[in-house]
Amino acid sequence: MNRRFNSVLPVAMLTAMSAGAALATTVGNMPARPLDAFLSGLDAQCTASAQFDAFLRALREHEGEVYRLTPAAAKAVLDAPIRSAIGDIRIVEETGEYQLIEVDVTGTWREVPVESIQFWLGKSNGIAGTAVIFSPPSEPALKVFQTRIETSATQMADDPDNDIEASTGLKVEDGRAQMWCDWST
């Protein structure tokens, strides 16, 4: 997606961005928590912070072919401010090959409201990825992350050490901007 923004924004877009800025301080009735330290690096070649990596590793456990979601263990590895931003953790899709896990959040990343984080995790097959789902409208997320993600994608594609061919992107689906990282092998 090579969408560029004009320096003169239409009134409707400015209104939508103002609404997004208002969401940055509260989401629903809850104060939004800054998730910058937690999500740091995902927009720079899909590099996970130590807390993000620990959370991801603690999300589930498995014995043989049985994979169980472990929300309490995942929350336990987080610092208190990040933990307070984490809501429900649930499996939203499961196949014989992977689980799609969704984590509700009340937070912001680079001052853009985040609605949820999704993880798609394979069952002993190398499928692995994440998506940060921003709260609508999508324009604030696109404005903040478009260039960062394009640069990141180019750097990853040109990196001779990117043996697993990890990739990243930014898209809008159902009115929500989504930044994704795919580490599948």
Residue 24 has pLDDT above 60, yes or no: no
CA nearest 120: which of 104, 139, 135, 101?
A: 101
Task: Return the higher-pLDDT residue of 160 and 88.
Answer: 88
11's tokens? 């009134």
The number of angstroms, rounded, from the C-alpha of 46 to the middle of its chain's C-alpha atoms is: 10
Q: How far is the C-alpha of 181 from the C-alpha of 129, rounded, in Å?
A: 5
Quick one: pLDDT band at residue 4, thresholds 50, 70, 90? very low
Which pLDDT does position 29 carry in this prediction? Answer: 57
Which pLDDT does position 93 carry in this prediction? Answer: 96
Instruction: Tell me the average pLDDT of the chain.
Output: 85
pLDDT in tens, 70-129: 999 999 999 999 999 999 999 999 999 999 999 999 999 999 999 999 999 999 899 999
Which pLDDT does position 123 carry in this prediction? Answer: 94
Residue 137 has pLDDT above 60, yes or no: yes
28-41 average pLDDT score: 85
36-46 average pLDDT score: 95
What's the count of helices (H) and strands (E) in the chain, helices before strands? 6, 11
Strands, E assignment, the chain? 26-27, 30-31, 33-34, 60-63, 66-69, 86-94, 98-109, 112-122, 128-134, 167-173, 176-182
Residue 14 has phi, psi (to 5 degrees) of -60, -40
Residue 27 has pLDDT above 70, yes or no: no
Quick one: pLDDT band at residue 31, thresholds 50, 70, 90? confident
14-27 average pLDDT score: 39
Rg, the chain, Cα only:
17
Is 123 within 8 Å of 65 (Cβ atoms)?
yes
